[in-house]
Structure 1
Amino acid sequence: MIQRIQSVFLLLASVLNGSVFFNALYSHSMDDPQAWIGIGFAITLTLALLAPLGCIALYKNRENQVKWVTRTMILQVIVLGYGLGIFISLGGFGSFLWDEAIGIGMLVIALLSQIYARKKIKDDIELVKSMDRIR
């Protein structure tokens, strides 16, 4: 299960999403006067944290795993949108927002690792299909 490279990338995505909770981007979202922004960011970030872990558990059914990783990627894009919205509302792209930019970077790397995990799952599906043709 965890020895497959896609499981490692899904675990990496989950860890990166979890580390955003300890970043300045999350603390700024909770300090926002519009409370729904911080709550929405926290809920979607929590779902984006737990969804890749659930996808790892689907390793026996690869087609189902690809579907759920795709849904997780959509959720990750929503989290990235929340993060970018919070980042831009802080004052845009300046040299004083490095801590917040690290949070955005972690969200982008989490999305990229999910994309790569999906690619590797599809490669496994093709490998199994080619081995079935040989038999």
Structure 2
Amino acid sequence: MIQRIQTVYLFLAAALNISVFFTPIYRHAVNDPAGWIGIGFAIFLTLAFLIAAAAIFLYQNRSLQIRIVKAGTYMQIVAIGFSAGILFSLGGFGTFLWQEVLSSGLIVLALMFYWLAGRSIKKDEELVKSMDRIR
């Protein structure tokens, strides 16, 4: 069912991953002299978005949905690593990089939504298994 809470979490994770493309940290990643940083950052953010969007529609197969969300969580962690690398290449965390730090916070927030979605899917799976035992 699409109206479950994990759908909301996955939608928010996908929306946050897309919104990162319009933030200063992505602009810095694209303008970095080492071109692979911007490309890698974009690839992992796009993969995390696509996985969250695909996992929304896998509600009938919860075990597959859990595995897909776990893979998306790993992609999100790699995207956090890229954003931390970009922040440190800009000079670290400071008051002059406030917008970039907030942009990285969006990625961390998306990771939190991935985690909440995985937890909710797991609770649903346990509930269904417990109801099967009662029958």
CA distance in 2, matches of 1:36, 1:15: 24
Q: Deviations over 1:70-107 (max 9, x none)?
A: 01100100011001100111010100111101111100
2:118 equivalent in structure 1:
118
1:57 equivalent in structure 2:
57
CA distance in 2, matches of 1:29, 1:116: 28
Q: Deviations over 1:13-62 (max 9, x none)?
A: 00000000000000000110111111111111111111100111111000
Matched, 1:82 2:82: yes
* Letter matched to residue 118 of structure 2: R
User: Does the 8 A contact of 2:5 with 2:117 survive in 1?
Assistant: yes
Matches within 5 A, 1:96-135: 96-135=96-135
* Letter matched to residue 119 of structure 2: K
Q: Give the share of equivalent positions with the same residue, in percent.
A: 53
TM-score normalized with structure 2 length = 0.97
User: Does the 8 A contact of 2:2 with 2:57 survive in 1?
Assistant: no
Number of matched residues? 135
SS of 1:92's partner is coil
CA distance in 2, matches of 1:2, 1:96: 42
CA distance in 2, matches of 1:78, 1:31: 20
CA distance in 2, matches of 1:26, 1:103: 8
* Letter matched to residue 103 of structure 1: S
CA distance in 2, matches of 1:42, 1:119: 27
* Letter matched to residue 91 of structure 2: G
Unpaired stretches in structure 1, ≥5 consecutive residues: none
1:34 equivalent in structure 2:
34
SS of 2:10's partner is helix
User: Does the 8 A contact of 2:70 with 2:118 survive in 1?
Assistant: yes
SS of 1:130's partner is helix
CA distance in 1, matches of 2:108, 2:130: 33
* Letter matched to residue 93 of structure 1: F
TM-score normalized with structure 1 length = 0.97
User: RMSD of the alignment, in Å?
Assistant: 0.8
Q: Post-superposition shift, 1:2? A: 2.6
Q: Post-superposition shift, 1:131? A: 0.9
